[in-house]
Amino acid sequence: MPSNIDSYRLCEVPYYRATGDEVTLFEHAYAHRLPMVLKGPTGCGKTRFIEYMAWKLRRPLITVACNEDMTASDLVGRYLLDAHGTTWHDGPLTTAVREGAICYLDEVVEARQDTTVAIHPLTDARRILPLDKRGEVVRAHPDFQLVVSYNPGYQSRSKDLKPSTRQRFVAMHFDYPDEASEAVIIAREGGIDPTLARQLVKLGRCTRSLTDRGLDEGASTRMLIYTATLMRAGVSARASCEATLTQALTDDPEMVTALRDLVDAHFA
């Protein structure tokens, strides 16, 4: 089958503002084709970071959003009926392995344990992907790299990376940017005034202080960008925060009231 790997190349540079030495560390890891795991809260920039690195390294990026219904066949491929009969179709992981792309498994702990076991042979010196149904062993392209991500603070212990899997990766920890950097990111991505962006950051940090006190998670950088986008479009600050923060963060009536009070305090 002809490859469509060029469709996975990023044509424009994704905006990413580094907050430490993560770019240099990733470059060294990629130079040695070490598998990487990105750990950190939802919406803190993990996906944008890997998009930026794929562009910087000039590699195709194949992203898989993992979920509890995903099977190993969804990753590696399966036989399907088509006009020519029964034909093997590579899954996204196999395509990346053959073509030398970066394969990014987003929120990998959402996948079933038997699915994640399929990646083990790719994360050690073998760098192979056995296709049992096809009777084939695919040796990884020299440019292939495997990257996975998850949020260790959110999932329950029943949905965590097993030590036998986690210890196969070089780990990078991500968190929300510092206040000044986050304001720059929100102003740039949301297209709003820097002063307004700083107000949003202060509000977001207040919601994060409510974690484990009624909220599972506070407002992410991504959510604050959504808020800024609505505000730029002319939606009032209160209405924007209601839609992208208050209602998105909780269904609990008392917490909704508390969040509305926070919004009023910051955008009176």
Domain count, the chain: 2
pLDDT over 50 (residue 1): no
Amino acid at 24: T
Residue 154: the pLDDT is 59
Mark whether 203 and 246 lie in a shared domain: yes
C-alpha to C-alpha distance for 182 and 221, rounded to whole angstroms:
7
Mark whether 103 and 52 lie in a shared domain: yes
pLDDT: is 233 or 113 the higher one?
233
Q: How many helices (H) and strands (E) does the chain have?
A: 12, 9
The percentage of the chain sitting over the pLDDT mark of 90, rounded to a whole number, equals 84
Mark whether 167 and 245 lie in a shared domain: no
The pair of three-digit structure tokens given for residue 230, joined into one six-digit string: 């609505």
pTM given for the model = 0.91
Residue 82: the pLDDT is 83
Q: What is the mean pLDDT of the chain?
A: 93
What is the CATH classification number for the domain harbouring 151? 3.40.50.300
pLDDT over 60 (residue 156): no
What residues make up the domain containing 28?
5-173
Residues 99-116 pLDDT 10s = 999 999 999 999 888 788
Residue 139: the pLDDT is 98
